[in-house]
């Protein structure tokens, strides 16, 4: 039985992470059960506080966390989207802005120019957040290869290292980290070293990791995490005693520990407890399991393990305390289910077979109910309700949407799959499914948008097309007039200029003076035809008249010349206004044509691309959904199988307990496994006072 218990304990402890380093975001005990290297991703998540902001995570570094975006409205807009987690919109806006920036002839005049480094980094960040690691890597490598200051290059190298690390490529991550030299931005100095240490651990170099982590003890934002990883590094380096001492320090309670730090503290205590169990140091194992908080993610495992530590030490009386507490908890948890078996097992060991039989019965009933629920849940997943529940938008508005899923009555399976959904791989698959759902919605709305664009273009065509011939005819007329007036103005200006070198006052004569001069000239011609006797007297009068007119013209010439220039300037103002109108008309005329011409090919191409993408997204979503469902069903089936195993144990054990209870009461062995009410011990009898039962 002891061996069996040990095996059962080993199984129970598979739900607890092994001796592995931890990260700021890695506080979910289930996350490690699925993948031996999932901590790599988890550490990456932690080293990327903007991916999973948690209390220990630290600073928000999107867009360098500044208001610099305000200096370029579109960069600012992409940050506005990013800060809300709208990665697609943020990326799309910033991609467009960067594309436009690189198309500008003189980039130094563009408002994005002073922020280009940050913008490039932000693209990488957004891509990373949008789970586009390939593109993120390319974007950041581009910055790394560019001729940039040390601080910028080092930050790029750090980000690239993070990407490699997250993708489970520690060698590449280390290679990127080795490119860091010179000035390092202060806000990421500790993060760089934490990543370096975790990379060393991932590469199986715990000694090097320990050296780095020792320097990080007490670093702001890494409280608890650096200490825990330092302990793990020491253990992996074979320095068992030092590692255990460090883990003990990391597991010690602090006054102002955040939830994340408490979780990591619990994890340290769980690892220590497990080590003590393996070393058969049950008293110390008990001590460390007791240090685990009763509300944290490891509390169930801690209670179960604490009970086993007592049981393995032969102290079944003490094992009852944590197991009783655990057995009363949420019965979907595997630790709770095991406690439902462990508890009557302990009563059996205390010779309280009646109580054991009753508890085995209760466990059987509970397992039966759970199995029914699991079957129902499996069917629900098969019917597609699970995916429908995941795709509900209102749920995703909440940061804890995975937890909120537990409250969905119409999708009971989500209750069982919360832990699975918290695992990194499953969450990536889920997020991909949700991203595909989001893309599908976008593409569908764009598809309907094309019809609206077509409609706008058709309406504009129908409106402008009949108008334009008439407008063009009118315009040609106005155009001819405009050109004529412009030429006339130029002639006048030339003549006035000539006046400055060769003054001709008669050219500045007013209309009545011109008429008078014409009449004088006509009269003079007529006088010439008169007889000579009459001619002289008339001619003298004509000359006087001409002289008077010439006098006026010559004496008033400077004034008239000034006046003419002033009039020319007035004319220029009028012509300027006319020119503005002329250009405005030309622009409006062009805009009217451009508002409905030249779109057809572009829209057709986009329509086809949207259709193809929609098809592809649909196929991928189906595959992703099928895979998620398969994994979920696998998980539910595994749970069901485990429960059936427990059921089998409970069935044998309940019969055995009734037999032993009957024997203890001095009766004959029971003919059937049906409990005899009279043989059942008093449910209220305490193990401390085993009255009436064999001692």
Partner 1 sequence: MKKVFLRAAALLLAMVCTHAWAQDGYREQMKGLDEQVQEVKSDVLSISAELSQLEEKLLYPSDTHFALFVQLAKGDTLRLDSVDVKVDGQPAAHYIYSFKELEALQKGGVQRLYTGNIASGEHQLEVTVAGKRANGEAYSRSETVAFTKEIKPKLLGLTVSSDSISSAGW
Footprint on residues 473-532 left by partner 1 (CB under 8 A): none
Three-state DSSP at 667 gives coil
- Residues 6+ positions from 63 with CB-CB distance below 8 Å: 69, 75, 78, 79, 82, 118, 121, 122, 125
Please state, in angstroms and rounded to a whole number, the distance separating the CA atoms of residues 180 and 433: 36
Nearest distance from C-beta of residue 187 to partner 1, angstroms = 15
For the bound state, the minimum distance from the C-beta of residue 624 to partner 1, rounded and expressed in Å, comes to 5
Residues 380 and 413: beta-carbon distance below 8 Å: yes
Q: How far apart are CA 16 and CA 158, in angstroms?
A: 31
When the beta carbons of 257 and 635 are compared against partner 1, the nearer one is 635
Spatial CB neighbours of 344, under 8 Å, sequence gap ≥ 6: 355, 356, 357, 358, 359, 360, 363, 653, 657
For the chain, what is the radius of gyration of the CA atoms? 45
> Which stretch in 46-54, 223-231, 436-444, 665-673 sits in contact with partner 1 by CB under 8 A?
436-444
Could you say which DSSP state residue 69 is in? G
Stretch 595-614: interaction string toward partner 1, x if CB under 8 A: x---x--xx--x--xx--x-
| Residue numbers 45-84 binding partner 1 by CB under 8 A | 60, 62-63, 65-70, 72-73, 75-77, 79-84
> Does 550 help bind partner 1 (rule: CB under 8 A)?
no
Contact 646, 363 (CB under 8 A): yes
Helix and strand counts by DSSP (H, E) for the chain: 26, 0
**CA–CA separation, 163 vs 183, rounded Å?**
21
Which residues, numbered 96-125, are part of the site for partner 1 (CB under 8 A)?
96, 99, 111
**Rounded distance, CA 77 to CA 470, Å?**
44
With respect to partner 1, which residue has the nearer C-beta, 221 or 503?
221
* 33 sits in which H/E element: none
Contact 391, 434 (CB under 8 A): yes
Q: Which stretch binds partner 1 (CB under 8 A): 94-102, 263-271, 462-470, 531-539?
A: 94-102
- With a CB cutoff of 8 Å and minimum separation 6, the contacts of 187 are 59, 61
Q: Answer yes or no whether residue 247 interacts with partner 1 by CB under 8 A.
A: no
Whole-angstrom Cα distance, residue 102 to residue 109? Answer: 12
Which of the residues 128 through 147 are near partner 1 (CB under 8 A)?
130-135
Among 653, 661, 664, 679, binds partner 1 (CB under 8 A): 653
Closer to partner 1 by Cβ: residue 269 or 301: 301
Applying CB under 8 A, among 317, 432, 556, 673 the residue interacting with partner 1 is 432
**DSSP result, 411-437:** -THHHHHHHHHHSHHHHHHHHHHHHHH
Find the distance separating the first CA and the last CA of the chain, reported in whole Å: 19
Please choose, from the candidates 104, 97, 59, 52, the residue with its C-alpha nearest in 3D space to the C-alpha of residue 77.
97
Q: Which is nearer to partner 1, 263 or 356 (CB)?
A: 356
Nearer to partner 1, 570 or 612 (CB): 612
Task: Kindly state whether residue 616 participates in binding partner 1, applying the rule CB under 8 A.
Answer: yes
CB 640 within 8 A of CB 375: yes
Minimum separation from the CB atom of position 483 to partner 1 (A)? 23
What is the DSSP secondary structure assignment for residue 685, as one 8-state letter?
A: -
CB of 436 to partner 1, least distance (A): 6
- Does 645 bind partner 1 (CB under 8 A)? Our answer is yes
Residue 629 Cβ vs partner 1, minimum distance, rounded to whole Å = 11
The one-character DSSP state at 672 is: S
Q: Out of 382, 476, 594, 604, which residue is the one contacting partner 1 (CB under 8 A)?
A: 594
**Number of residues in contact with partner 1, rule: CB under 8 A?**
88
CA distances from 502 to 60, 489, 491, 499, 551 (A): 80, 20, 16, 5, 18
Interface pick for partner 1 out of 373, 422, 439, 553 (rule CB under 8 A): 439
User: Taking the complex as a whole, how short is the minimal distance between the CB of residue 245 and partner 1, in angstroms?
Assistant: 32
Q: Interacting stretch for partner 1, rule CB under 8 A, among 241-249, 493-501, 506-514, 616-624?
A: 616-624
Q: Find the shortest distance in angstroms from Cβ 189 to partner 1.
A: 22
Among the listed residues 56, 143, 553, 617, the single contact to partner 1 using CB under 8 A: 617
Q: In angstroms, give the least distance from the CB of 327 to partner 1.
A: 18
- Nearest distance from residue 450's CB to partner 1, in Å? 9
The answer to the question of residue 1 lying near partner 1 (CB under 8 A) is yes
585 forms part of the interface with partner 1 (CB under 8 A) = no
Kindly tell me which residue out of 401, 415, 453, 585 binds partner 1, with binding defined by CB under 8 A: 453
Least distance from C-beta 260 to partner 1, angstroms?
20
Cα separation of 42 and 21, whole Å?
Answer: 10
The answer to whether 579 contacts partner 1 (rule: CB under 8 A) is: no
Q: Which is nearer to partner 1, 3 or 529 (CB)?
A: 3
Q: Looking at beta carbons only, is 200 or 323 nearer to partner 1?
A: 323
Best CA proximity match to 200, nearest among 161, 238, 163: 161
Q: Which of 390, 398, 332, 297 is nearest to 25 (CA)?
A: 297
For the bound state, the minimum distance from the C-beta of residue 488 to partner 1, rounded and expressed in Å, comes to: 29
Contact yes or no for 189/166 (Cβ under 8 A): no
In the complex, least distance from residue 386 CB atom to partner 1, rounded to whole angstroms = 15
Minimum Å gap between C-beta 315 and partner 1 is: 19
From 39-47, 173-181, 435-443, 666-674, span contacting partner 1 (CB under 8 A): 435-443
Asked if residue 18 binds partner 1 (CB under 8 A), the reply is: no
Q: Which is nearer to partner 1, 429 or 685 (CB)?
A: 429
């Amino acid at each position: 039985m002891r061996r069996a218990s040990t095996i059962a304990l080993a199984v129970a402890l598979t739900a607890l992470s092994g001796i592995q380093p931890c990260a700021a975001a890695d506080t979910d005990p289930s996350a490690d059960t699925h993948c031996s290297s999932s901590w790599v991703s988890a550490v990456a998540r932690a080293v990327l506080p903007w991916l999973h902001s948690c209390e220990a995570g630290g600073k928000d570094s999107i867009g360098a966390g500044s208001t610099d975006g305000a200096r370029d409205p579109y960069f600012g807009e992409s940050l506005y989207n990013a800060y809300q987690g709208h990665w697609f919109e943020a990326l799309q806006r910033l991609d467009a802005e960067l594309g436009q920036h690189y198309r500008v002839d003189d980039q130094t005049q563009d408002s994005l120019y002073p922020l280009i480094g940050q913008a490039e980094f932000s693209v990488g960040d957004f891509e990373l957040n949008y789970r586009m690691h390939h593109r993120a890597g390319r974007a950041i490598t581009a910055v790394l290869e560019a001729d940039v200051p040390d601080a910028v290059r080092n930050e790029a190298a750090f980000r690239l290292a993070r990407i490699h690390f997250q993708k489970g490529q520690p060698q590449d991550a280390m290679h990127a980290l080795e490119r860091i030299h010179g000035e390092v931005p202060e806000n990421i100095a500790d993060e760089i070293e934490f990543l370096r240490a975790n990379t060393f651990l991932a590469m199986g170099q715990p000694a090097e990791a320990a050296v780095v982590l020792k320097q990080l003890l007490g670093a702001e934002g890494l409280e608890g995490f650096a200490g825990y990883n330092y302990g793990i590094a020491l253990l992996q380096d074979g320095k068992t005693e030092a590692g255990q001492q460090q883990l003990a320090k990391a597991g010690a309670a602090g006054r102002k520990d955040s939830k994340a730090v408490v979780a990591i503290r619990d994890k340290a205590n769980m690892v220590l407890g497990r080590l003590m169990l393996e070393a058969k140091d049950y008293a110390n194992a008990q001590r460390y399991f007791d240090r685990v908080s009763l509300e944290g993610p490891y509390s169930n495992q801690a209670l179960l393990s604490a009970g086993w530590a007592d049981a393995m030490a032969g102290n079944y009386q003490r094992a009852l305390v944590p197991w009783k507490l655990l057995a009363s908890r949420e019965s979907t948890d595997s630790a709770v289910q095991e406690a439902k078996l462990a508890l009557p097992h302990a009563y059996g060991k205390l010779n309280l077979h009646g109580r054991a039989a009753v508890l085995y019965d209760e466990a059987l009933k509970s397992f039966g109910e759970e199995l029914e629920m699991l079957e129902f849940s499996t069917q629900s997943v098969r019917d597609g309700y699970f995916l429908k529940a995941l795709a509900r938008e209102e749920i995703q508005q909440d940061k804890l949407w995975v937890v909120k899923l537990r409250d969905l009555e119409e999708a009971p399976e989500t209750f069982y799959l919360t832990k699975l959904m918290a695992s990194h791989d499953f969450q990536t698959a889920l997020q991909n499914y949700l991203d595909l759902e989001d893309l599908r919605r976008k593409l569908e709305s764009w598809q309907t948008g094309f019809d609206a664009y077509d409609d706008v273009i058709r309406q504009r065509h129908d409106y402008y097309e009949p108008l334009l011939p008439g407008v063009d005819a009118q315009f040609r007329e106005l155009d001819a007039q405009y050109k004529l007036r412009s030429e006339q103005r130029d002639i006048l200006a030339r003549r006035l200029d000539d006046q400055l070198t060769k003054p001709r006052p008669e050219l500045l004569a007013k209309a009545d003076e011109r008429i008078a001069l014409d009449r004088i000239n006509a009269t003079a011609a007529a006088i010439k035809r008169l007889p000579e006797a009459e001619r002289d007297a008339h001619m003298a009068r004509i000359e006087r008249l001409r002289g008077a007119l010439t006098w006026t013209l010559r004496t008033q010439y400077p004034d008239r010349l000034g006046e003419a220039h002033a009039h020319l300037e007035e004319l220029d103002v009028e012509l300027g206004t006319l020119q503005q109108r002329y250009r405005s008309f030309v622009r409006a005329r062009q805009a009217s044509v451009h508002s409905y011409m030249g779109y057809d090919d572009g829209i057709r191409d986009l329509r086809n691309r949207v259709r193809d993408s929609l098809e592809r997204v649909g196929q991928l979503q189906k595959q992703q959904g099928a895979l998620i469902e398969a994994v979920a069903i696998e998980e539910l089936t595994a749970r069901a199988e485990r429960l059936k195993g427990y059921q089998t144990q409970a069935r044998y054990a309940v019969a055995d307990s009734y037999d032993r209870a009957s024997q203890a009461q001095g009766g004959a062995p029971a003919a059937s496994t049906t409990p005899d009410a009279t043989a059942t011990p008093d449910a209220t009898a305490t193990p401390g006072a085993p009255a009436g039962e064999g001692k």
